[in-house]
């Protein structure tokens, strides 16, 4: 009943929220800029490239010339037409991005056009006469399907082929229809995963690429929007890696260059010491992830190639030092700044590596899958495959497959998110991280809103006068933002869930687990909520800004190699339109909300013997999941600015 009501409410809200004025615009720079009276004007196309016969938007982005800060609330007019038939300027409405003023246009033909921007009033100051700027632009020919459409076609085609292959494999093996197929029955897949060359073939190229990033970060131009180091690290890797966790779990760790350095160093040093017990948890990884997020927001690391290079060097050295002293991949297991996040999100992946027969494992004394043997080294992530019931620390490296002399391991598909309710291990630090990630993604998304600077300025007025007098505005404003990030994500959201756990415990009556155990049990149902917010947030960066990697690659190749990949176009089209991005975001949030409810319901039925007590205990947690999801939808539909340069 509870699930039905909340799902119905969310589905009812989605169309209205999705249609609200806001979200990320797929603005395409038109390559025309001008500066007048201390204001900089940049022309963009608000709904993708302008095409003949297609309705589109011309956007005039107005900012202060020195700081680049957007100027909102102005009176701007825009005229559009050919040089011989320019239309009269029409009032432009401010849309989505702060300081962006748009009019709807329909080009009659391709070729050269002219845009007239009239600034009648800005920042409460009228101009007599108005400031007028004429800018030339080019309307291109008809568009093709686009990268996003072709990617979708490729994914659908690949999924269909994989499904047909799976059906054929089931028929060959004669497996029962309800029993998962062991993918390792495929000779080529088993051969790949057990090959000695498989993992190094992924790690070595990424190590070389890491070296390129460090070199370019230190010695190339220090402009984040142009330097390949920042574009590749933050626009592509940082935004895109999360999608791998959802599909194939910790497979990134299989190829990670930091993990390679840690593991190789540990082998060469024959390190056998265990990491001290106080460090054998994910609290440290959670703290470093929060620190990295704070640096991202407050120090502008995404815009600094040199800082990006220093971060890469620091964690590379850190991984090596840990490997010199401690066994296996201790850095990856406990200290990697995104290790905890990867583990939590990997619980949703629809693939798993598990034992086949528990009795066979118990009777085997050598435990080669963990200790290592003639065939392989044993699990580098310090996991015991016999007891493996979750994806958190399995990198699919294949070492246990090589080592197991009894062929007692299977790789198979399973229900999406199954670990969230089926795993027997539930830890406070993991539940806390799952909840904190919801807060982090909400706060980071809020910090991108065009209204955010004004809100922070209003809050700064509450500070004592002596504080504002002693510190520079950038300092105390940064302190306020940092406080909101830390308190909001690490205190407020976990406190809300803890209070929900107290209420759930009361509603469960005599079967109550206590607030702490209730928090730990239900904390995992918030993994899909945080993951959905993270996916939706990063999807916009990836699709709207990802095209900027092409000119950055062209430039770097032209400067540092004898090759030539063409003239860089620093105004690339987005990989998907605003409508597509918005639709995908809403679909992700709605779909993962349902998964959250499923995880919560199955968890409740597992921990409470009485279904009625389970239903009552679930109610507050389901309500919180709904509230966080709606908060994410509302934030994503507000006027928002770009974080990464095109």
Average pLDDT over residues 36-40: 89
In the chain, where the domains are located = 27-139, 198-346+351-413, 428-636
Q: Out of 9-18, 48-57, 458-467, which region has the weakest mean confidence (pLDDT)?
A: 9-18
Percent of the residues in the chain that have a pLDDT greater than 90, as a whole number: 49
Q: Do residues 565 and 553 lie in contact, with contact meaning Cβ atoms separated by under 8 Å?
A: yes
Question: Inter-axis angle of helices 493-507 and 515-523, to 10 degrees?
Answer: 110
pLDDT of residue 152: 64
Q: Could you give the residue ranges of the DSSP H alpha helices within 278-427?
A: 283-298, 305-325, 330, 339-346, 358-362, 368-371, 399-403, 419-422
**When comparing pLDDT for 376 and 626, which is higher?**
626
Would you state the torsion angle of the CA atoms of residues 589, 49, 65, 297, taken in this order, to the nearest 10 degrees? 20
Q: What is the pLDDT of residues 44-72, one digit of tens each?
A: 887 677 877 778 888 988 988 877 788 88
Q: What is the pLDDT of residue 147?
A: 57
Q: Which pLDDT does position 24 carry in this prediction?
A: 39
Q: Is the dihedral of CA 264, 268, 269, 270 positive or negative?
A: positive
pTM above 0.85, yes or no: no
Percent helix / strand / coil, the chain, rounded to 5: 55, 15, 30
pLDDT band of residue 23 (cuts 50, 70, 90) is very low
Estimate to the nearest angstrom the gap between the alpha carbon of 245 and the chain centroid.
10
Mean pLDDT computed over 117-134 = 89
Question: Does residue 473 surpass a pLDDT of 70?
Answer: yes
pLDDT (mean) for 617-626: 96
Q: Which residue has the tokens 């040089």?
A: 83
Give the right CATH number for 27-139 from 1.20.120.850, 3.30.420.40, 2.60.40.1940, 1.10.10.10: 2.60.40.1940
User: 19 or 416: which carries more pLDDT confidence?
Assistant: 416
């Amino acid at each position: 009943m509870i699930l039905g009501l909340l799902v119905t409410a969310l589905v009812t809200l989605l169309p209205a929220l999705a249609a609200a004025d806001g979200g990320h615009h797929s603005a395409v720079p038109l390559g025309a800029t001008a500066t007048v009276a201390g204001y900089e004007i940049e022309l963009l196309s608000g709904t993708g490239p302008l095409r003949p016969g297609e309705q589109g938007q011309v956007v005039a982005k107005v900012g202060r010339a020195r700081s680049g800060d957007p100027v909102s609330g102005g009176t701007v007019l825009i005229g559009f037409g050919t040089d011989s038939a320019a239309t009269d300027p029409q009032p432009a409405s401010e849309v989505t991005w702060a300081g962006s003023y748009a009019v709807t246009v329909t080009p009659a033909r391709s070729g050269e056009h002219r845009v007239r921007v009239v600034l009648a009033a800005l920042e409460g100051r009228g101009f007599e006469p108005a400031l007028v700027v004429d800018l030339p632009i080019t309307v291109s020919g008809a568009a093709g399907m686009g990268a996003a459409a072709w990617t979708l076609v490729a994914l659908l085609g690949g999924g269909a082929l994989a499904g047909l292959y799976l059906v054929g494999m089931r028929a060959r093996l004669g497996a029962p229809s309800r029993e998962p197929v062991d993918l390792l029955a495929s000779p080529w897949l088993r051969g790949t995963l057990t090959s000695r060359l498989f993992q190094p073939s992924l790690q070595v190229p990424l190590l070389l690429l890491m070296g390129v990033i460090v070199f370019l970060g230190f010695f190339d131009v220090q402009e984040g929007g142009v330097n390949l180091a920042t574009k590749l690290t933050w626009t592509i890797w940082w935004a895109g890696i999360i999608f791998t966790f959802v599909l194939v779990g910790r497979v990134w760790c299989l190829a990670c260059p930091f993990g390679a350095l840690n593991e190789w160093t540990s082998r060469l040093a024959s390190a056998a010491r265990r990491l001290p017990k106080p460090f054998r948890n994910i609290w440290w990884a959670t703290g470093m992830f929060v620190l990295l997020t704070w640096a991202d927001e407050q120090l502008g690391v995404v815009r600094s190639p040199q800082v990006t290079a220093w971060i890469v060097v620091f964690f590379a050295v850190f991984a090596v030092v840990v490997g010199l002293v401690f066994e296996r991949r201790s850095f990856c297991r406990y200290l990697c700044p995104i290790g905890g996040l990867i583990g939590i999100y990997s619980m949703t992946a629809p693939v798993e590596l598990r034992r086949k027969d528990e009795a066979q494992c118990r009777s085997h004394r050598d435990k080669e899958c963990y200790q290592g043997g003639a065939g392989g080294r044993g699990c580098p992530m310090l996991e015991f495959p016999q007891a493996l019931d979750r994806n958190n620390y399995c990198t699919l490296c294949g070492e246990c497959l090589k080592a197991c002399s009894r062929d007692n391991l299977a790789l198979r598909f399973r229900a999406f998110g199954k670990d969230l309710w089926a795993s027997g291990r539930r830890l406070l630090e993991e539940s806390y991280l799952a909840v904190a990630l919801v807060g982090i993604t909400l706060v980071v998304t809020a910090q991108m809103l065009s209204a955010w600077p004004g809100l922070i300025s209003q809050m700064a007025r509450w500070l004592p006068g002596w504080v504002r007098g002693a510190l520079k505005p950038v300092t105390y404003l940064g302190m306020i933002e940092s406080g909101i990030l830390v308190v909001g994500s690490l205190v407020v959201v976990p406190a809300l869930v803890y209070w929900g756990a107290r209420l759930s415990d009361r509603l469960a009556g005599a079967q109550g687990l206590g607030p702490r155990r209730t928090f730990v049990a239900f904390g995992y149902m918030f993994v899909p909520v945080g993951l959905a917010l993270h996916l939706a947030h990063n999807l916009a960066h990836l699709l709207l800004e990802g095209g900027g990697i092409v000119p950055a690659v062209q430039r770097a190749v032209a400067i540092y190699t004898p090759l030539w990949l063409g003239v860089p176009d620093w105004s690339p089209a987005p990989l998907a339109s605003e409508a597509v991005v918005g639709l995908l975001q809403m679909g992700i949030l709605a779909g993962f909300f349902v998964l959250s409810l499923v995880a919560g319901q199955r968890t409740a039925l597992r921990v409470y013997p009485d279904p009625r007590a389970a239903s009552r205990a679930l109610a507050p947690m389901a309500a919180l999941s709904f509230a966080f999801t709606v908060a994410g939808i509302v934030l994503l539909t507000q006027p928002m600015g770009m974080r990464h340069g095109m």
